[in-house]
Amino acid sequence: MRSQTEFGNEEGGPVMKPDSDLSSRTPKLLDQVRTVLRMKHYSYRTEKAYVSWIYQYIVYHNKKHPRDMGEKEISQFLSHLAVNRKVSAATQNQALCAIVFLYKQVLNIDTGQFENLIWAKKSKTIPVVFSRQEIQSLMDNCTGTYWLMAALLYGAGLRMRELLNLRVKDIDFQYNQITVRNTKGKEDRVVPLPQKVKTSLQEHMRKVKNLHNKDLKEGFGSVYLPNALERKYKNAAKEWIWQFVFPAHRISTDPRSGIRRRHHLYDSALQKAIKNAVKKAGISKHGTCHTLRHSFATHLLEDGYDIRTVQELLGHKHVETTMIYTHVLNKGGLGVKSPMDTL
Determine which one of 159, 261, 264, 299 is catalytic. Answer: 159
DSSP designation for 62: T
Determine which one of 167, 262, 293, 299 is catalytic. Answer: 293
Q: Is the peptide bond before 27 cis (omega within 30 degrees of 0)?
A: yes
DSSP E strand stretches across 149-264: 171-172, 177-180, 189-192, 252-253, 260-261
- Dihedral sign, Cα of residue 146, residue 151, residue 154, residue 158: negative
Do residues 19 and 4 make contact, with C-beta atoms less than 8 angstroms apart?
yes
Determine which one of 64, 161, 263, 290 is catalytic. Answer: 290
Do residues 287 and 129 make contact, with C-beta atoms less than 8 angstroms apart?
no
Q: Which residues make Cβ contacts (< 8 Å) with residue 165, sequence separation at least 6?
A: 181, 182, 244, 264
Burial class (CB in 10 A: 0-12, 13-18, 19+), 14: exposed
65 part of the active site: no
Determine which one of 325, 327, 331, 337 is catalytic. Answer: 325
- Dihedral sign, Cα of residue 53, residue 57, residue 59, residue 65: negative
Number of Cβ within 10 Å of residue 268's Cβ equals 8
Alpha-carbon 64 to chain mean position: 31
Do residues 176 and 193 make contact, with C-beta atoms less than 8 angstroms apart?
yes
Q: Which helix (H) or strand (E) element contains residue 148?
A: helix 144-155
290 part of the active site: yes
159 part of the active site: yes
Determine which one of 17, 184, 209, 249 is catalytic. Answer: 184
From residue 343, how far is each of 337, 338, 340 by CA, in Å? 12, 10, 6
Which amino acid, 63? Answer: K
325 part of the active site: yes
- Through-space distance between the first and last CA atoms of the chain, rounded to whole angstroms: 74
Catalytic residue set: 159, 184, 290, 293, 316, 325
